[in-house]
Amino acid sequence: MERTLFESDHNAFRDAVRQFVKRHVVSEYDRWEAEGLVDRKLWHLAGESGFLGMAVPTEYGGGGEPDFRYNTVLVEEFARSGAASLSSGFGLHNDVVAPYLLELGTEEQKRRWLPGFCSGELVTAIAMTEPGAGSDLKAVRTTAVRDGDSYVLNGNKTFITNGIHSDIVIVVAKTDPSAGARGISLLVVERGMPGFERGRKLAKAGMHAQDTAELVFTDVRVPAANLLGEENRGFAYLMNNLPQERLSIAVVAVATSQAAFDWTVQYCRDRKAFGQQIGSFQNSRFKLAEMATEIDMAQVYLDRAILELNVGTLTPVDAAKLKWWTTELMKRTTDTCLQLHGGYGYMDEYPISRAWRDARIHTIFGGTTEIMKEIIGRDLGF
């Protein structure tokens, strides 16, 4: 099915991203996977290439293109090259953190942080999840107590994408613990603030090149000037921005599904068993037919959602539908593709092995499949 989402400028941008991946990612990615961290230099190279802060106005050093199709192209090309860890790390920076800084930041905050955001000098993260609070954001226990011109921040965060490299972290904290969700605020913590420490770099089942860490805040004095938006309105801000985060995850899911499918079609043509191509067996043909159909259907829904986000009409419910369906599709597709590869699919020399491992987290982070269904079910009146 021909895709009509992109225009000539997006296609030119895709060509540039593909060259970047070929030049700077392909030869290094296995090493990053082994080390559990991409080179910090890659962030600077991405900034120089115009791949960070595409939506940021040019006056702050960005691309001045608030068209999510550019974000889509970048994430798709990383995912299709088998570099899902980069899709997650760079996607979090561009697709998740950028809206908070652009929509909530004061003029002083924008001038302080956005140029570095766009150049790769400042890597960003957002710290929501805690050891005892994942999907239930109202249950966060990290506190920020106002003391003069500062907040005193205490708490622990875990599973934080870009946690090791991050230079500024948007921290979700309770500024009024008695108010539940109405007592949450967003504070920007900067590298080097006394009491801000990195915990473990976490070992994971997949996404090995994506640095994921624990963050510890012990009596960190965060200037009141680092409050993002208004005090105690953090939960509303989080709910407002989650649809774009979930859309970004869906982009990775569909792009990875398509890549896994393409690798598998080629493998089924090349590999022979019992004197014939394995793709010519009825079971293989039917599995490939099912995947081809489901991926095309998911792509149409995803592309529509991207256009809706661009004009501000993508609803949290539609984003939830998209997120759970595409990530479950990704999990199912990579598993089926690995099966069709047989024993070779379990070997790391074949990209399907890594894609299969990397797929598993996507039905969990950004809101689990179960939480997505809960959002949809409540919207139905139940």
Catalytic residues: 245
Locate tokens 């501000």: which residue?
Answer: 312
Element of type H or E holding 239: helix 234-270
Beta-carbon contacts of residue 343 (< 8 Å; ≥ 6 apart) = none
Within the chain, how many helices (H) and strands (E) appear?
A: 12, 10
Beta-carbon contacts of residue 377 (< 8 Å; ≥ 6 apart) = none
Would you state the structure tokens that stand for residue 228, as one six-digit string?
């993002």
Beta-carbon contacts of residue 100 (< 8 Å; ≥ 6 apart) = 126, 170, 186, 228, 237, 241
Closest CA to 323 of 302, 307, 308: 302
User: Which whole-number Å values give the CA distances from 200 to 30, 41, 97, 328, in the listed order?
Assistant: 22, 22, 22, 29
Q: Distance (Å, rounded) from C-alpha 320 to C-alpha 121?
A: 33
Q: Distance (Å, rounded) from C-alpha 84 to C-alpha 359?
A: 8
Phi-psi category of residue 6: left, alpha or beta, with phi > 0 → left and psi -120 to 50 → alpha: beta
